[in-house]
A and B are shown apart, each in its own frame.
Chain A
Amino acid sequence: MLKPKLIVDGKRLDGRAFDELRPIKIEADVLKRADGSCYIEMGKNKVLAAVYGPRELHPRHLQDPSKAIIRYRYNMAAFSVEERRRPGPDRRSIEISKVSKEVFEAVIMKELFPRSAIDIFVEVLQADAGSRAAGINAASVALIDAGIPVKGIVTSVAVAKVDGQLVLDPMKEEDYYGEADLPIAFLIRNGKIESITLLQMDGRMTKDEIKRVIELAKKGVMEIYRLQRDAIMRKFMVEEDEG
């Protein structure tokens, strides 16, 4: 298959600048039964996150007397991609679930809830590169919606190298044909980026390119962070008005 030109006249296939995100929509508290929930669209990604807990953990031998156990399930719907995928976890989903769980293990104040479980479920309804980042962004809002104490907001984005150029928030074509992809998540506290909570990379980049990638990602996450915060504010403002 011939690789299409991904950058034409200094613009990306969808007309974006190199440091421009796709359109983002975030809404908190979209599910009735869950303790906390969030719906996010990042470009063509459409992702739902739900949080249940803290709740009793069964079987009991899995309980930790010193803290809550965090569980994270990233799941793609069969219809979420071009060619139908077999339902259930594949190896990619298992890995994404693991590293995403670890993001929230570092961020949730789990010592406050010994012997319990906090379950985070992420359902990808439509995927178009960056679905793990969308899932983390939604999960972070859903956790706050559920009232679970966290150290801050987690915000995630990917940066790719395509046609030798570093681009923020790659879409499907850029991810597929690109030379490298680096998904990353940061903990943001009091409006400031504090540390890295997720970091993966595949492809080929020099050390200097990676440093530039991180700077580009930091710019991107600050924009997403503001939208996450707005979504949370909107939800709590409504509650205040109603009651």
Chain B
Amino acid sequence: MKAEDILSEIKKDYVLAKLKDGERIDGRKFDEFRKIEIHSGIIQKAEGSALVKLGNTQVVVGIKMQPGEPFPDTPDKGVIITNAELVPLASPTFEPGPPDEHSVELARVVDRGIRESEAIDLEKLCIEPGKKVWIIFIDIHAVDDDGNLMDASSIATISALLNTKVPASRFGLGEDFKLPIRDLPISVTSLIVGNKYLVDPSKDELSVGENTLTITTDKNDNIVAIQKSGGYMLSEELFYELLDVSARCARKIREDYLKIII
């Protein structure tokens, strides 16, 4: 056994022992997020950006935009392309190379939240129907993985979109304008341990097994995306409970950190 594995086993026992007493190792409530910090507009070269700290987890999201061709089935709508990179600087277990299943899943679940909540008014991003629309590139760059990159990325993405300016003048397409945002989708990820849940799990908590459920809600508490991740069995009762918990947590994040009228 490697030292790292032994450490992980010790952490796992500690997390489980605490859980038995109805506590989390860092003293948080079961439905409590770690401290969130949002630093918007930190990348001047990008059309929009945000650094989000969720406890010790850090994610940078940058938005770039350029005119391009629409999809044939949505000729009058802008296009969203979401990508996530788990760069080796963020964790001893991340390796360089093409996106693996974890980064693909991360990007696709964040993308679903933005897309399905219709957070971006894509019809306002049509330049010439069928020919030219704005392409929005959302690039998620994990820089420190201390657990729950999913929610850190979700918060960073909507924060970055909120300060995105469409660079129309650079392409000779009139004046720059603010990216039209009309919803605030927020994902809430819970670690599942038996019939218990821990919202916003830290890396130490995830040592008990990376079994999570992500539920994304829009500003009206509608559910817009769900992703069960990990080889575990989920009970119906816990799922229904988490629908409520997730909507409540998302509402709090919106009120505390994204207080913007849209």
With both beta carbons as reference points, the residue of chain B lying nearest to A208 in the complex is identified as: B243
- Residues of chain B with a CB closer than 8 A to A206's CB: 221-223
Main secondary structure of the interface of A (DSSP, over half): mixed
- Residues of chain A with a CB closer than 8 A to B235's CB: 195-196
A187 interface contact, C-beta 8 A:
yes
Q: A94-B104, A95-B104, A207-B244 are in contact. Are A102 and B231 (CB under 8 A)?
A: yes
| Cα-based distance from A106 to B228 in the complex (angstroms) | 12
What's the count of A-B pairs with C-beta under 8 Å?
A: 94
| Cα-based distance from A203 to B218 in the complex (angstroms) | 11
Judging by beta carbons under 8 Å apart, are A197 and B233 in contact?
yes
| Cα-based distance from A92 to B213 in the complex (angstroms) | 19
B225 interface contact, C-beta 8 A:
yes
Report which of A106, A195, A199 forms a contact with B226, defined as CB distance below 8 A: A199
| Cα-based distance from A207 to B245 in the complex (angstroms) | 12
Judging by beta carbons under 8 Å apart, are B222 and A205 in contact?
yes
Q: Interface readout for A73-111 with B: 1 if CB under 8 Å, 0 if not?
A: 000000000000000000110110111011111100000
Q: A200-B226, A206-B223 are in contact. Are A106 and B232 (CB under 8 A)?
A: yes
Q: Interface readout for B94-118 with A: 1 if CB under 8 Å, 0 if not?
A: 0000010100110110001001110
Judging by beta carbons under 8 Å apart, are B101 and A196 in contact?
no
With both beta carbons as reference points, the residue of chain B lying nearest to A206 in the complex is identified as: B222
Q: Interface readout for B213-245 with A: 1 if CB under 8 Å, 0 if not?
A: 100001001111111111111111001100110
| Cα-based distance from A211 to B243 in the complex (angstroms) | 10
Judging by beta carbons under 8 Å apart, are B231 and A203 in contact?
no
Q: A95-B105, A196-B239, A202-B112 are in contact. Are A210 and B233 (CB under 8 A)?
A: no
Is the interface on chain A under 10, 10 to 19, 20 to 34, or 35 or more residues?
35 or more
Judging by beta carbons under 8 Å apart, are B116 and A204 in contact?
yes
Judging by beta carbons under 8 Å apart, are B233 and A194 in contact?
yes
Judging by beta carbons under 8 Å apart, are B101 and A94 in contact?
yes
Report which of A97, A200, A203, A214 forms a contact with B101, defined as CB distance below 8 A: A97
| Cα-based distance from A197 to B237 in the complex (angstroms) | 14
- Residues of chain A with a CB closer than 8 A to B244's CB: 207
Report which of B117, B228, B229 forms a contact with A196, defined as CB distance below 8 A: B228
Q: A197-B233, A198-B228, A201-B223 are in contact. Are A207 and B247 (CB under 8 A)?
A: yes
The 5 closest A-B pairs by CB, nearest first: A105-B231, A195-B233, A201-B226, A199-B228, A102-B231
Besides A102-B229, A201-B225, A205-B223, 10 other A-B contacts (C-beta < 8 A): A94-B101, A102-B230, A102-B231, A104-B231, A195-B233, A196-B234, A202-B115, A204-B117, A205-B222, A207-B243
| CB-defined A-B contacts under 8 Å, sample of 23 | A1-B73, A92-B108, A95-B108, A99-B105, A99-B229, A182-B226, A195-B234, A195-B235, A196-B234, A196-B235, A197-B234, A199-B227, A199-B228, A200-B227, A200-B228, A201-B223, A202-B224, A202-B225, A204-B218, A204-B224, A205-B222, A205-B223, A210-B243
